[in-house]
Amino acid sequence: MFVRFALNADLHFSRELPPEAVEAVAKTVQEANTTLFRRGVPAEATEEQIGKITRWSADGSVVSLKIESGPYTRAHDALFRFRRSIVRAMGRHRLGLRDIRITAFRVLLPDELPDAAIPKVPFITTVHRLPGAVELELDCSASDLENRVPDRIVRLIEEKKEALSYGGKVEHWELVFESGAKPRVYSGNPTEEMLARGWIRHGASRGQWIYAPQAVQLFRALEKIVIDEIVTPLGFSEMIFPKLVPWEVWMRSGHAKGVYPEIYYVCTPKTRDPAYWEEIADYFKVTGKVPVEQIRERLDGPIGGMCYAQCPPFWPFVQGETLANDSLPVLVFDRSGTSHRYESGGIHGIERVDEFHRIEILWLGTAEQTIETADRLHEAYVRVFEDLLDLEWRSAKVTPWFMAQEGMVGGSGSAEVGTRDYEAYLPYSDSWLEFQNVSVNGNKYPKGFNVKIQSGADCWSGCSGIGLERWTAAFLAQKGFDLSKWPEAVARLVGEPKEVFRFL
């Protein structure tokens, strides 16, 4: 059993076909079925798996076709191959092709699919359930077919079927390193104690904190450790990546496949003419209230969203380029701004926030260079967590973050491509907190942004996100607030906490 495609199409020509043109159509159809549609098809393919024009007629200026196929030279591919030949053949009779209208398109899937595996997209007009199969009727224009909409629908259905078969199963998680237990010196909730000490206060938006100098001292100390002990010794250079991410980037990075529930979306004014906005400003001045619905009507977009994964907006820097062999691996990082995720509601500590600060490390090169860089980074992290921060932590191979963000589950299907999570033990809640990760993303981004290597080797990339809130949460949960008991390297960098604010 295999997937089958069938389409009916009308080819509209510039005038009525004379008898000799109709004969030429017959010959072109014959050639297509015997030669053209067989190009590139493996020898073992059976007759019925290959695209074929199974019926045709000419009436006035219109040539009507029925094309059927299995998986090889699919009906729609066959149509466009045929278009080239027929245009040439009819040209000799001074006939021009004016339009192609698809009058029917059917896909037969050899599987009794669950309803949830069939996407709710406007193209699917009817679903017929047959014994052992499902037939879909599609409403597609010729340009939808050129855009490979039927193939994408078939692939999406396969993805959904696979995701459903995982059902409620948890994500992949496989322990690869464990530091072992460390002495317990503190068992409080660090967010609560930071609040009580005036190190942080809630910001005005959800999941958002304002950090007082004492908290920032610790943040910057941890950041300095990252810069001095990890990033600089390994040869990474600082860049500045943009923080507003338009669709164009997420379409190429793959985030447009599924990140929608967690995005803070960004919309732009329809115009920056002050007169257009005067009524809005006047309404506020007169009522003290912001007229949200009226503002909404004056916005375009959303054009994209606030920074979510930090590395995608880097990629336009190298988009369409070929990297010189001797410039590789390229090693860079960014720490220039905030990331934002619409997290589930409720009150959480600084370890789970909507707005956070991350140092994003990114590298690209050959597969070997990319994997080697990830390994060297891992070694540097081990040294920092063991020798400098003295943390109780572990690391595990997990479902790659980009698959999770695209709504997929399971492993990457490759031993080398994947995400390694770093987790720290939180004594106060007897749980483990993912506080950073290292990912080898394979050729995902270079492919999406069309980046090549001079040698012709496949270009790979990797990234590692260090969440400063999460490092802080992990560190304080284990080490507490008595600075005399902190690891010396951290205590020295932090210095005496500055008490800048005093309230009555």
Please list the active-site residues.
311, 341, 343, 352, 360, 421, 434, 437, 463, 470
CB 13 within 8 A of CB 98: yes
SS3 316: helix
Binders of a second copy among residues 273 to 292 (CB under 8 A) are 273-274, 276-288, 290, 292
CB 392 within 8 A of CB 182: yes
Is 503 a binding residue for a second copy by CB under 8 A? The answer is yes
The one among 2, 56, 186, 247 contacting a second copy by CB under 8 A:
247
Is 347 a binding residue for a second copy by CB under 8 A? The answer is no
Pick between residue 117 and residue 433 the one whose CB is nearest to a second copy: 117
Q: At what angle do helices 468-479 and 213-225 cross, to 10 degrees?
A: 100
Question: Both tokens of residue 271?
Answer: 């115009």
Q: Peptide bond before 302: cis, by omega within 30 degrees of 0?
A: yes
Question: Both tokens of residue 46?
Answer: 């059976």
Is 422 a binding residue for a second copy by CB under 8 A? The answer is no
To 5 degrees, how large is the angle CA 412–CA 426–CA 471?
A: 70
Write down the least CB distance from residue 264 to a second copy, Å. Answer: 5
Is 357 a binding residue for a second copy by CB under 8 A? The answer is yes
CA distance 207 to 248: 27
Pick between residue 65 and residue 403 the one whose CB is nearest to a second copy: 403
Is 306 a binding residue for a second copy by CB under 8 A? The answer is yes
Binders of a second copy among residues 155 to 214 (CB under 8 A) are 155-156, 159, 201-205, 208-213
Is 126 a binding residue for a second copy by CB under 8 A? The answer is no
CA distance 185 to 487: 12
Is 404 a binding residue for a second copy by CB under 8 A? The answer is no
Q: How many residues bind a second copy (CB under 8 A)?
A: 117
SS3 329: coil
In terms of C-beta density within 10 A (0-12 exposed, 13-18 middle, 19 or more buried), how is residue 380 classed? middle
Question: Both tokens of residue 332?
Answer: 């860079």
Write down the least CB distance from residue 483 to a second copy, Å. Answer: 17
Binders of a second copy among residues 253 to 272 (CB under 8 A) are 256-258, 260-269, 271-272
Is 502 a binding residue for a second copy by CB under 8 A? The answer is yes
The one among 2, 56, 186, 317 contacting a second copy by CB under 8 A:
317
Is 114 a binding residue for a second copy by CB under 8 A? The answer is no
Nearest alpha-carbon partner for 397 in 441, 444, 437? 437
CA distance 25 to 64: 11
Pick between residue 30 and residue 454 the one whose CB is nearest to a second copy: 454
The one among 330, 350, 371, 440 contacting a second copy by CB under 8 A:
330
User: Distance from CA of residue 285 to its chain's centroid?
Assistant: 42
SS3 4: strand
Write down the least CB distance from residue 349 to a second copy, Å. Answer: 16
Q: Which stretch binds a second copy (CB under 8 A): 127-135, 314-322, 434-442, 472-480?
A: 314-322
Q: Which stretch binds a second copy (CB under 8 A): 27-35, 55-63, 149-157, 413-421?
A: 149-157
